[in-house]
Amino acid sequence: AIDMRSLYTKAGRLSYDPGFMATASCQSAISYIDGEKGELLYRGYPIEQLAVSCDYMDTCFLLLKGELPTPAEKAEFNNNVADYAMVHEQMQFFFRGFRRDAHPMAVLVAIVGALSAFYHDSLDINDPIHRELAAQRLLAHMPTLVAMSYKYSIGQPFIYPRKDLYYTANFMRMMFGTPIEDYKINDVLVRALDRIFILHADHEQNASTTTVRLAGSSGANPFACISAGIACLWGPAHGGANEAALSMIRSIGSVDKVGEFVKSVKDPANQARLMGFGHRVYKNIDPRATLMRETCHEVLNELGLNNDPLFKIALEIERVALEDDYFVSRKLYPNVDFYSGIVQSALGIPSNIFTGIFALARTVGWIAQWKEMISDPEQRIGRPRQLYVGQPRRDVPPRQK
């Protein structure tokens, strides 16, 4: 039985809200979702417009500073980020401590957390210069670290970043280049990955962002906070969904098996889910999914993979589900992860790196949210209460000496 006295605190009556379905944990001016309309805004700008007119560096500037950059501001921003792309040389020894077959996300969680052991000059969260420096390092280091975690997992040498390349092109070169053959940059493919980055850059108080804020609310340093966010993102219900969606599509195997598969998902006895479908907030089409579907067409076209069987299966799943009352009545539509796995796989990115790509893209959102929280005068340590349902007070029985 619940002790009714525990329902009242100094702050007022407690609300019991598992999963924070009806709780706003903060005020924020960064991104906005209207789940009913299927709308996502970054600093007021619709994601559809940003995805067409801006690149990821514009988006990062916007999220961090509140406005889109002027050409001069953008040149300076790009330059600063490029300056910090190289990680401390000592970090490669840290990588070498891991097994080669470790999941790259396990490595990434540790490596990003370890940045706080490398950069003592950006740990004072009360100093705006330290905060700026940490933000810049995190944003600039993520592509290098994700590429290093991939290269390490396949036993290839690390590729150093280059200052003259755009952020996303640089990342692709560090992923796919080798010392004996440089990576040939294809603008269509760079633009596709850049769009994935834009679409994943921020998404208000999702689980990983809330984790970053909660970790940061104790005064923890930003590297530790982002590492906590990455750990949360790795879960299959959050950032791991695109990997799960792609393996689901692969396991279905052919278009004619889609109907049977969708039927099996609906059976409560199977406790299965259609991966890449549904969203806690969007109860209409996820606007990012529409953009990702378009990118999927562009990439497959560019690579001559128009008849890609995985994409055909995906389209069939979408068709069957959107005509099925089970999905329609529960407002379960494809989310961005449904298509992003197919795009990434066409780009040559292995599925165990998908969540790393998501973490790379979301880092700017996490940093913007962390900075906003730190400078909010109402900010205090995040400390939810609970409804205690355990034993009432009792005495320890005599123990054997």
Assess whether 101 carries a catalytic annotation. no
The yes or no reply on residue 237 touching ligand ACO (CB under 6 A) is yes
The yes or no reply on residue 265 touching ligand ACO (CB under 6 A) is yes
Residues paired with 90 in a beta bridge: none
Q: By beta-carbon distance, which residue lies closest to ligand ACO?
A: 278
- Closer to ligand ACO by CB, 186 or 351: give it: 351
Alpha helices in 253-324 (DSSP H): 258-266, 287-302, 309-322
Assess whether 337 carries a catalytic annotation. yes
The yes or no reply on residue 371 touching ligand ACO (CB under 6 A) is no
Radius of gyration of the chain (CA): 23
In this structure, which amino acid lies at residue 19?
Answer: G
The yes or no reply on residue 273 touching ligand ACO (CB under 6 A) is yes
The yes or no reply on residue 91 touching ligand ACO (CB under 6 A) is no
The yes or no reply on residue 246 touching ligand ACO (CB under 6 A) is no
- Closer to ligand ACO by CB, 104 or 278: give it: 278
In this structure, which amino acid lies at residue 14?
Answer: L
Binding region for ligand ACO (CB under 6 A) out of 113-121, 248-256, 328-336, 390-398: 328-336
- Closer to ligand ACO by CB, 147 or 332: give it: 332
Residue 32: CA count within 13 A, CB half-sphere: 9
Residue 389: CA count within 13 A, CB half-sphere: 3
* CA distances from residue 146 to 106, 314, 323 in whole angstroms, order as listed: 11, 27, 39
Candidates 358, 33, 373, 370; CA nearest to 198 is 358
Distance CA 339, CA 342 (A): 5
Among 130, 141, 203, 279, the one annotated catalytic: 279
Binding region for ligand ACO (CB under 6 A) out of 211-219, 222-230, 248-256, 275-283: 275-283
Determine which residue in the list 65, 162, 238, 312 makes contact with ligand ACO, applying CB under 6 A: 238
Distance CA 216, CA 125 (A): 9
How many residues at the interface with ligand ACO, by CB under 6 A? 18
Question: Which residues in this chain contact ligand ACO in the complex, by CB under 6 A?
Answer: 237-239, 241, 265, 273-280, 330, 332, 335-337
Q: Which residues are catalytic?
A: 279, 337
